[in-house]
Amino acid sequence: MLNWNDIIKFANHGAPAPDKRVEKTEAEWRELLTLDQFNITRLKFTERAHSGEFCSSHEAGKYNCICCDTPLFDSTIKFESGTGWPSFTAPIKLNAINYIKDDSHGMIRVETICNTCDAHLGHVFPDGPAPSGLRYCINSESLKLDQS
């Protein structure tokens, strides 16, 4: 199970390689995504707190990347954090997420991106519940729920 020390190690030295890579031009991403999805996943915007479709939803399934359909999180590890964004305790696979040191906005955080297509997802913090102690704070616009 991942812990905060693992996240810091990945942010400093890189995450395990993804199973595959998906790369598209900016024009191709714009064609595939809504304006909000593009702004969040490709330009690293953040949706307003409590505005996302998956903030309070608890339907069973896998949460996949909106850009490349890679499974990222499972509904069984989703929890109510009270922050206004969907929160998870761990990725579905060790190599599903890449971690980037983010020193924007006058603070140091760890950005989470899809390891397959580099879509901005949100950030991870060391204030989540046991057993991982992690809180993946993810934008709803960067996810789609696969209930199959």
Of 96, 114, 110, which is closest to residue 29 (Cα–Cα)?
114
DSSP string, 27-41: HHHHHHS-HHHHHHH
Q: Is 55 annotated in the active site?
A: no
User: Residue 131, preceding bond cis, omega within 30 degrees?
Assistant: yes
DSSP string, 94-142: TTSEEEEEE-GGGS-EEEEEETTT--EEEEEES---TTT--EEEE-GGG
- Report the Cα 57 to chain-centroid distance in Å: 16
In the set 55, 65, 114, 137, the catalytic residue is 137
Of 101, 125, 108, which is closest to residue 9 (Cα–Cα)?
101
Q: Which residues are catalytic?
A: 137
